[in-house]
Amino acid sequence: MDTIVTTSPTEAAKFIRRGGTVAFPTETVYGLGANVFDEVAVSKIFNAKKRPADNPLIAHIGRLDQVKTLAAEVPVFAQRLIDAFFPGPLTVVLRKSEKVPMIATAGLDTIGVRMPRNELAREFLLASGTPVVAPSANLSGRPSPTTWQAVYEDLNGRIDCILQGEATEIGLESTVVDCSGESPVVLRQGAIALDQIRAEVHNAVLAESSDGESPKSPGMKYRHYSPTAKVKIIEAGNGILDPLTSAYIGIVDPEITLGMKLIVPDIQAYAHSVFEFFRECDRKSIGTIYCEKVMDEGIGAALMDRLRRAAHD
């Protein structure tokens, strides 16, 4: 069956209330949602995305008081992050309440919680009347979707509904901070930079490389954000081979003829456009995508993290 596309958050929310799956926009990327407390509905997310069952989901809330239906406890430092960054592109990982089914957290005793600031997302979440678990709305392993059309491309016929909004504002996924231990650990970098987290909780640390045997954030062990094309990270426009079958994205223009090229004004615009550029390169059967390296700070740190993962074979 074809997926229904609607611009109405209340129409979309009806599917959640009936135990269905709905893709919806947030300020980071589009998510694929289901009622967190409905195990059958949550299992549909894993099936639709072909997502490994050991990769936990983030619960999205429309109201701050929903945190207590999801979390067993909220440590003082986690509350400080919530006060500072909710609603916004931050996920806090907390010890879960008993009400949250194991399928949502992939068997972990913790749950990621996030309150998006995107207006359509908030209207949809409020109309759903329940927290909504949602991974990015792409087929597992593909670049995260930043437009409703990208969701449609991956998931048409596999999910009930798409809530159609604008292209997402930030373009990279939320910053994930584990608050279930003694002190905060940043598991995934995002639009909220490590410095901003540290301004609130000074002992926050970055998780060690999550490529190890038992990564803290289970999702980090999987191939991620990958177009079919090869991804190579290069210094400003240098070292491009086979330009006619290659693509380039960056701030500095290499000034050669390429299969595809996107020159962006700054790092923010780069982050905003990179996943859609990857998808467009695949639509055009590009062989190699050359990506300009940027400074590893602020949103640049999150961008470099995604580029490195995409470049990893």
Residues in Cβ contact with 65 at an 8 Å cutoff, skipping those fewer than 6 apart: none
* Nearest residue (CB) to Mg ion, 217 versus 288: 217
Restricting to residues 79-138, which ones interact with ligand TXA according to CB under 6 A?
91, 93, 105, 108, 110-112, 114, 134-136
**Closest chain position to Mg ion (CB):** 136
Enter the DSSP assignment of 136: B
- At its nearest, how many Å lie between ligand TXA and the CB of residue 237? 30
Under rule CB under 5 A, residue 174 binds Mg ion: no
140-150 CB burial, b ≥16 within 10 A, e <16: bebbbbbbbeb
**Closest chain position to ligand TXA (CB):** 219
- At its nearest, how many Å lie between ligand TXA and the CB of residue 258? 30
- At its nearest, how many Å lie between ligand TXA and the CB of residue 146? 11
The residue among 18, 42, 47 whose CA lies nearest residue 157 is 47
How many residues touch ligand TXA (CB under 6 A)? 28
Binder to ligand TXA among 179, 185, 220, 249 (CB under 6 A)?
220
Contact criterion met (CB below 8 Å) for 105 and 128: no
Under rule CB under 5 A, residue 189 binds Mg ion: no
Under rule CB under 6 A, residue 29 binds ligand TXA: yes
Contact criterion met (CB below 8 Å) for 6 and 161: yes
What residues pair up with 234 in beta bridges, in sequence order? 292
Angle between helices 148-155 and 267-283 (to 10 degrees): 30
Summary count for the chain: helices (H), strands (E): 10, 15
Of these partners, Mg ion, ligand TXA, none, which one is at the site of residue 58 (CB under 5 to 8 Å by kind)? ligand TXA
- At its nearest, how many Å lie between Mg ion and the CB of residue 144? 5
H or E element in which residue 128 lies: helix 119-128
Site of tokens 């207006």: 119
80/82 Cα distance (integer angstroms): 5
Binder to Mg ion among 35, 91, 136, 175 (CB under 5 A)?
136
Angle between helices 267-283 and 299-311 (to 10 degrees): 20
Of these partners, Mg ion, ligand TXA, none, which one is at the site of residue 294 (CB under 5 to 8 Å by kind)? none
- At its nearest, how many Å lie between ligand TXA and the CB of residue 288? 25
Site of tokens 């979390």: 71
248/166 Cα distance (integer angstroms): 25
- Write the interaction track for Mg ion spanning residues 95-134; mark x where CB under 5 A is met and - where it is not: ----------------------------------------
94/107 Cα distance (integer angstroms): 14
Binder to ligand TXA among 34, 48, 58, 113 (CB under 6 A)?
58
Per CB under 5 A, residues contacting Mg ion are 136
- Which residues make up the interface to ligand TXA (CB under 6 A)? 26, 28-29, 31, 55-58, 91, 93, 105, 108, 110-112, 114, 134-136, 173-174, 176, 187-188, 217-220
